[in-house]
Structure 1
Amino acid sequence: MRSPLPANEVERLRAVESYGILDTPPEKIFDDLARIAASICGTEVALVSIMDKDRQWFKAKIGWVIKETPREVAFCSHTVLSSEIMIVPDALEDERFADNPLVTQKPHIRFYAGMPLINTDGHALGTICVIDHEPRRLTAAQEVALRVLATSAVGHLELRKAHRLLKTQAERLEEEVRQRTRQLEVAKRRIEMSYDDTLRALGAALDMRDNETAGHSRRVTAYCLQIAKAVGVQGDELKNIERGSYLHDIGKIGIPDAILFKPAKLTEEERKVMESHARIGYDLVGSIAFLSPAAQIALTHQERYDGTGYPQGLAGKEIPLGARIFAVADTLDAMTSDRPYRRALPLEAAREEIKRESGRQFDPEVVRAFLSIPEEVLIGIRAGVENRGNNLESVEREP
């Protein structure tokens, strides 16, 4: 017997489409949910199904080969009519299914129990169900487990949908970044020697995006140059450290405002999007020929000496020297700058904190070089950069 359609079928189908789940490859989380359902209920078959207009498609299947069935023969087409679990102890004894080809022919279904997957808007997207070839019943505990698994499946569908939306936004932003990069490449060909202008434009774009950190890139660049000289860096490597440190956060251009400026704690998915700014910055900086040697700082500026940073979890000397120098300079500027949630620390306190983190967050050799710089030099660097404004030439001339 073919089931009637849900009263909200048009809206339900629109909701199913919004998840972009149909005809996608298997995913471990949904396979695991089906496997758990089969194990708890003691059945040979367990499925996570999505109810399309004319078919029932299986996102996950345990003990089942068919990838979809016509909706007109689907047990789950009856399940999605309500918000409660549907149990068919013996399909041959149920007039709705006694002549169903899935019962009278292979796979010879006799027992079925399914719980609808209902989203926050009240739409039944599909089901999580268990099937057996012998009549049987579920215990009360098994029914509860099936309900819990259905709730979990809906939660993962929502997370997947949110991730899909974020990915779409990220792709749109990446295209914007690619367009900006092409514009920068055209500008480079027209004015071959205007490197300073290009750097200033990129830094200004980031400062305009995030007013809270305006001036941060210039100060960190000046500190990096001073520390690099104390370490013994010279020539082209010094220039690459200057450029890389100045553009270290340029990847934040590709982070949505809703995440970049979110006042509350980020979710796990949002944290991953935020952390992607290192890779976005690397791709952007690396795509500009004269900046490509400095791209490693954009990629690795969030790594820690003890290996607990991101995006690659590099440790020790695996981290490029420029990024190890940057870590100290960045922390120095962060601690000695006012923030909405705290006042700036004195320079002496910041130096002591960096010293304590030697060997954990920071390279001990870089820390020793940093501590060899007189305090008055560091104070002079900060004052000089803030007085001169957004000018890389002023950074280059710091003592």
Structure 2
Amino acid sequence: MVLKTVVQSLELALDRAAKTRTLEERLRHVTGLREIDQAIASSQDLSVTLGMILDNVAQQLGADAATLLLLDRHSLNLEFAGTRGFTTVLQGTAVKLGAGLAGQVALNRQPLNVPDLQDARVPVALRDMLVREGLAAYYGAPLIIKGQVLGVIEVLHREPFEPSAIWLETFEMLTAQAAIAVDNAQLFTELEGKNLELRLAYDETIEGWAHALDLRDHETEGHSRRVTERTVQLCRQLGIPSEKLVDVRRGALLHDIGKMGIRDGILLKPGPLTEVEWVEMKQHPGHAVKVLSPIKFLRPALDIPQYHHEKWDGSGYPLGLKGEAIPLVARAFAVVDVYDALTNDRPYRAAWTHERALEHIQSGAGSHFDPRVVEAFVQLLV
């Protein structure tokens, strides 16, 4: 009777221990999946996320080696994106769709279990590599999302291996996580490419507008392009953050877009303007605001078109702003604009020399121009 009680107690203890081990194992699986979820949500670096997935595959499935291959839809090759447990360098190499074990998995869109590679038909080159690595068992599964094959995960062991139901369940979850990570990364890359294309289209449109303005006023042909490049250089030297320079560039290209609202008789007049004509000419910064402010992505670029005729001493227009009340980018552009106008031919005068124009700019420091900007401009041209 005592012996029976002891045996029952022992069986109960073993059952509890087995359940505890199973619970601990499932907890490790859940923790690993949570880590991968966080990596997918927080990182756009696919290599980091895939590395974490492979680490979890090796740890949770007791694998001696693991690989993850991604399908290139143009070449129809499976390219190694990550490996664990190999001494042979596989990254940078590829497997043709339908060839080898991984190629069959991707083509057939079904998992492939090879419990003992010695008994399987394996390509000679692959068999030689597996022999060198001492690997004896293989399990591969496709990464599929939205009906498309994205790649393959392979798990290998050094001894013949037959997966259990729990092992297969865990591997299926890890494979699903990998597919989500790859899909997210590809969507992000595609979106980034579309955004770059859209930005390029915006900038090409703006450059077209600037060129059209230059063609209308033959005296200033090429002026917008020249002052834009030099203004960006000067603003960079003045410490304006690089992420703001795109707005500087757009604003410089469009600095005279308000002149679209000025009559040709005034804009193209060969001689001096009358007082009444100057009143109309001075309205072009306001016209620029009316043209550009409804365009959301151009609003941050308004400072140059709106304020580049303001002067350091407050004698400029349209608002008579003074000193640092004038946006820095407009103060920078004003120096570049005047220098470019002086050093290029006009119908009413020949271009000034670099030295003469620079002397004029320096003489205007503290009245027309911000002295600090003039100093930076001189340094830029030295």
TM-score tier, shorter chain, comes to 0.3 to 0.5
Q: TM-score, normalised to structure 2's length?
A: 0.47
Report 1 or 2 for greater relative contact order, CA contacts < 8 Å, sequence distance ≥ 6. 1
Computing the radius of gyration from Cα coordinates, the structure with the larger value is: 2
Structure having the higher helix fraction is 2
Q: TM-score, normalised to structure 1's length?
A: 0.45
